[in-house]
Amino acid sequence: MAQRRNFVRLSKKIKVEFRQIVERYANASVPPNISYTTSISGNGLTILSGKDVKKGMKYEIDIFVKDGTDSPITAAGEVLGSDEIEKGQFELKLKITEIDEADRDRLASYIIREDLKVKNAAKKTSKKTK
């Protein structure tokens, strides 16, 4: 059975910072892990990590989209799984479990805009090759 998504998934490198949540809160005194997405949607993201983590671990995530604002999109997420893509390099698949509605709208708008840019660029390329 094919998987249906409610959101467009965008393959794009976007800076993220994430901290493990322990007992409902992330420890703000611990420096965040800094990484990048390999893909993102309105309800989840895949990020690169130098270490493997267990399924079910929870993280506070700041997503730095380039949409004309200085503030990151803040969300909480849970690890659904991870894959070692090369020695010592992992892709973590996270489901967004908590996000402010305004931030979800901002994220969805950003993804739709960027997806349209990719599709329009592909159309221009295909017209040039005909």
Tokens of 28: 């703000």
Domain ranges of the chain: 15-128
Compute CA 107 distance to the chain's CA centroid, rounded to the nearest angstrom: 10
As its CATH architecture, domain 15-128 has: Beta Barrel (2.40)
End-to-end alpha-carbon separation of the chain, Å? 36
Q: List, in sequence order, every residue forming a beta bridge with 102; answer none if it has no partner.
A: none
Q: Is the pLDDT score of 32 beyond 60?
A: yes
Which pLDDT band holds residue 2 (cuts at 50, 70, 90)? very low
Which pLDDT band holds residue 1 (cuts at 50, 70, 90)? very low
DSSP track, 31-67 = PPEEEEEEEEETTEEEEEESS---TT-EEEEEEE--S
Tokens of 15: 């800076």
Compute CA 32 distance to the chain's CA centroid, rounded to the nearest angstrom: 15
Contact 99, 77 (CB under 8 A): no
pLDDT in tens, 35-72: 999 999 989 999 999 999 999 999 999 999 999 998 99
Contacts of 111 (CB under 8 A, 6+ apart): 7, 8, 10, 40, 41, 42
Q: Is the pLDDT score of 4 beyond 70?
A: no
Tokens of 76: 């909480």
